[in-house]
Amino acid sequence: MTTEYGAFWDDLAEDLQDPEFLRQYVVESIRIATIDQIVNALDEARDAADLSKAALARAISAEPAVVRRLFSAKHVNPTLGTLAEVAAALGMRITLEPLPQAERESVTAPLLEGRSADTRALAKHLKELRSTKTRSRVAA
């Protein structure tokens, strides 16, 4: 039976009942949201410093294409080392912070337990995390 979420969300909610699928989906969603958040913050810092992508690449001894892709590619998967180098060149560092309690309950518990009491709510929460702020895709 299709709900207000539509057939896609019904199928996803059903797929999330599989513990392995749930874990992979949660991990991938968090990975994407985290990388987007870090890359957005670094790009904003670069803009604020009035630093070109080429100058930033020189500062970290990287090819300009590496930095261009980092800030303009649709799908990026930078290493933590690259992110840390870019952050350092911008006078920043990458740190960890605990998830708020509500997120621990909706994200961490399903990861550890391999199940969620409300898979539709979990899918909706992860979608919101992944789409909170979309990186601009402007080429250098």
For 6-31, the pLDDT digits (tens) are: 888 889 989 999 999 999 999 999 99
| Secondary structure class of 66 (helix, strand, coil) | helix
Domain that holds residue 40: 7-130
Give the count of domains, the chain. Answer: 1
For 28-52, the pLDDT digits (tens) are: 999 999 999 999 999 999 999 999 9
| Secondary structure class of 69 (helix, strand, coil) | helix
Token match 């990861």: residue?
111
* Helix ranges, 49-137 (H): 53-59, 64-72, 80-89, 101-103, 109-113, 119-130
pLDDT at 137 over 50: no
Domain annotation covers residue 27: yes
The CATH number assigned to the domain holding 51 equals 1.10.260
Q: Cα separation of 18 and 11, whole Å? A: 12
